[in-house]
Amino acid sequence: MKVFLVGANGQIGRKLVELLGSSSEHSVRAMIRNPEQANELEKLGAETVVANLEGSVSELAEAVKGSDAIIFSAGSGGSTGSDKTLLVDLDGAAKMVEAAEQAGVDRFVMVSALQAHNRENWNEKLRPYYVAKHYADKILESSSLNYTIVRPGGLLNEPGTGKVEASENLGRASIPREDVAQTVLAALTEEHTFKRSFDLISGDQTIQEALKNV
């Protein structure tokens, strides 16, 4: 499967590049804004393409053309303001959904945030971010695409355990970024996750078991 990765230079994105770049089943095309990022990602096994989530839908559709699936793991980051959250996490995601439909790329995996679907459970300090994730997810769900939405809990820079819990509604908890990346990769081809969204935290099940039970 030819996977188009949006957010390849982020922390989860970088782990996905490594996993996809070393995979015998998949190849990865990493979308980058800055050509200077290309060399490092190509060393990890990625093909790179320069495009910008703040560009036009037609430009994004051209970049994604020929891919079999899209993973959206982009974010404006904690150091930017609410304006960038709106432009990247919401409108950027919405434009990628439109671009996927235009380019005929049916499979779309979105990395969202724990409980983004439940306003009552949003982190007050991150409310604009949760608003963006909530509506980006809704746009994807109402599209024609074969989507999966993964909503991970608090992200940790710890080694993955390979053990997770995945369900429609989970309480606030954390998970290593490595386990999020592994789960997203496994979800790509796990039919039980098609047209589904779920929370994801560290747990007791293997990733494969958890995805078959969401």
Residues with catalytic annotation? 129
Tokens read off for 205: 């099940």
Q: How far is CA 184 from CA 5, 152, 170, 200, in A?
A: 11, 10, 18, 10
- Closest residue by Cα to residue 11 from 70, 55, 73: 73
User: Which residue type, as a one-letter code, is found at position 52?
Assistant: N
Instruction: Write down how long the chain is.
Output: 214
- Closest residue by Cα to residue 197 from 208, 184, 185: 184
Q: How far is CA 1 from CA 28, 60, 66, 183, in A?
A: 8, 19, 11, 16
Other beta carbons within 10 angstroms of residue 59's beta carbon come to: 13
SS3 163: strand
